[in-house]
Amino acid sequence: MISPVILLWGFPLGPVVLATATTVVVLPTLFRLCAAAAAWFDRRTAWHRGLVVVVALGCFFAVELLIGYAVRVLPDWDAGTIYSNAAGLATGSMRTIDADYYSMYPNNIVLTLLLAGYLSVLHQLGATDLYLGGIALNALAMTTAVFLTLVAARKMAGTASAVFALLPCTAFIALSPWIAVPYSDTLGMVFPVLLLLLFLQSREAKKPVYVYGLWVAMGLVSAVGFSIKPTVVFVLIAAAAVLVFTKKNALSRSRHASVVIGCLLLAFGAFGVGSATIKAAVAGSGTLSFNVNTNDKEFPVTHFLKMGAVGFGGFNGPDVVETKSINSVEGRFQNGLDVYRERVSAMGPWGYLAFLDIKGKAILGDGTFFTWGEGMARQPVELVARDPVSKAVQDYFYYDGPHFAFLRAFWQSLWFATLLLVAAPLLIRGRSLVQPAAIVMRLALFALLLFLLLFEGRSRYLYMYVPFFILLAALTAGTMARRFAGRPAEPAHTSGEENAGSDLRGGAGTSAGRAPGPHARPDQAAFIAAPH
């Protein structure tokens, strides 16, 4: 992984590895500084804490909007198709969406219609640059994902971990050129971490009716997320598995079995009802020139299976042409299966494993998440923004800019450090590392990676799940820092389960004006004072 597959441009391996090692070495000191900031934050009144959060998120949004404005260019791949159709519906220049594209990829219809509704409001308000409006929506979604990530970190491991999580959130979310591409990978980022928060709340609820309600909400959120990015459903499946195989929660154990069955039925029932409702709404929207319920041109799942077994397992134009040329539904399905078998057989068992190793490195080893890689880097593009500030931003964030290599190396070294922290629990033990919410994230990421290894995959498909990588890294960093300070991995009063007494604001179990209670999260003041 330290020498991943390079798909677009390389990076200086030596300096990147050195920067990664330096980052890991300074982690205890860095976490100590985060703990100091967290202690200051927790001593503030609720009003002041809220103000700090609003200002911080406002800065995130402003930075994202600045970068998006500077490097905006209409993509020449699916994201551009979706925007063009959404803008056409919003302005009235189109009455129906492109039947040829959407009949093959109906999974993008919901996102197109939602974006069209948003752009229609902007158009009616007199906005002239609708693509910039799409970038603003992107910034809002990504900033919301950051907020939810910080809330989850605070609930799981205290304010210090939330402050620490703010650092990779800044690097990978606030400072990412993906902000300029309103698409499912970015607009869908809120769904995995929102589902995780609902799961956390369900573990804390003491009454079955609240637990049931939260699992219904998880099913509905999953249905909406699935209609935008299908891999969202891995979180619901992982949460269901953890619910079945863990017994510790705020409810009595004697009622656990009945509650589990009820939660599963309600969650997946809500998912089914929500999905059916969304499909009916799409069919009745009046924006389709084909019947989505009887559409026989959709690319089958086996098409993506065969594409996932050639090259680096990403997009393959000849495969698309071949699948499109087959008229029957059964023929397209069988063709994908046959071609996949032929390709795997030609490689042989060991050859296929070697192929998956290379493909896995290409997917997991790119700290830019294939930014500028979806067709846009084939040749230099003409950026719209030409003002001095935008040109300065382009020097760093445009792939042909003079300082992009520096930023690329920065992302790469920090991504390697993040992956090391995510994998560290194989060697480091701590109850916060194996709490149910952490297991949910690991199971969801495992399912995602397995899916991407078998089917069409590239590192962009990981981007929606970046909050999970950040949260797992923050949990590990906290455990390592406490051990380095000579303290237990978790205080004696910590059970490894979520803090049942916390709420979305408190998290750490403290508030201004009173000492930490007996069930508080790690005492940050004591941690700061610990010998290093």
> DSSP string of 395-443?
HHHSTTSTTHHHHHHHHHHHHHHHHHHHHGGGT---GGGGSHHHHHHHH
> Around Cβ 101, how many Cβ atoms within 10 Å?
16
Residue 403 CA to residue 396 CA, distance in Å, equals 5
What are the boundaries of each domain within the chain? 1-73+140-187+365-485, 74-128
Q: What is the pLDDT of residues 325-367, one digit of tens each?
A: 999 999 999 999 999 999 999 999 999 999 999 999 989 989 9
Is residue 5 pLDDT above 60, yes or no? no
pLDDT, residue 249, reads: 55
Residue type, 113: L
Q: Which residues of 318-332 are buried (b: 16+ CB within 10 A; e: fewer)?
A: ebeebbeebeeeeeb
Burial class (CB in 10 A: 0-12, 13-18, 19+), 448: buried
Element (H, E) at 92: none
pLDDT, residue 493, reads: 36
Tokens of 55: 């200002």
pLDDT, residue 251, reads: 54
pLDDT, residue 2, reads: 53
pLDDT, residue 185, reads: 96
pLDDT, residue 13, reads: 78
Tokens of 27: 């982690």
pLDDT, residue 470, reads: 98
Burial class (CB in 10 A: 0-12, 13-18, 19+), 286: exposed
Residue 279 CA to residue 255 CA, distance in Å, equals 36
Residue 166 CA to residue 159 CA, distance in Å, equals 11
Q: In which band, very low, low, confident or very high, does the pLDDT at 523 lie, cut at 50, 70 and 90? A: very low
Q: What is the pLDDT of residues 233-267, one digit of tens each?
A: 999 999 999 999 886 555 545 567 888 899 999 99
Q: In which band, very low, low, confident or very high, does the pLDDT at 516 lie, cut at 50, 70 and 90? A: very low
Contact 414, 104 (CB under 8 A): no
> Around Cβ 231, how many Cβ atoms within 10 Å?
22
- Rounded average pLDDT over 33-51: 94
12's torsion region: left (phi>0), alpha (psi -120 to 50) or beta? beta
Q: What is the pLDDT of residues 427-463, one digit of tens each?
A: 888 888 889 999 999 999 999 999 999 999 989 999 9
Element (H, E) at 46: helix 46-70
Q: In which band, very low, low, confident or very high, does the pLDDT at 307 lie, cut at 50, 70 and 90? A: very high
pLDDT, residue 248, reads: 59
Cα separations in angstroms, 488 against 428, 429, 491, 493: 12, 10, 6, 11
Q: In which band, very low, low, confident or very high, does the pLDDT at 17 lie, cut at 50, 70 and 90? A: confident
Is residue 312 pLDDT above 50, yes or no? yes
pLDDT, residue 189, reads: 97
Is residue 416 pLDDT above 70, yes or no? yes
Residue type, 159: T
pLDDT, residue 110, reads: 97
Is residue 389 pLDDT above 60, yes or no? yes
Backbone angles phi, psi at 440, to 5 degrees: -60, -45
Q: In which band, very low, low, confident or very high, does the pLDDT at 41 lie, cut at 50, 70 and 90? A: very high
Residue 40 CA to residue 43 CA, distance in Å, equals 5
Contact 226, 275 (CB under 8 A): yes
Output the average pLDDT for the chain: 87
Tokens of 315: 């997009």
Residue type, 451: F
Estimate to the nearest angstrom the gap between the alpha carbon of 430 and the chain centroid. Answer: 25
* Residue 145 neighbours by CB under 8 Å, 6+ apart: 173, 189, 190, 193, 467
Q: In which band, very low, low, confident or very high, does the pLDDT at 514 lie, cut at 50, 70 and 90? A: very low
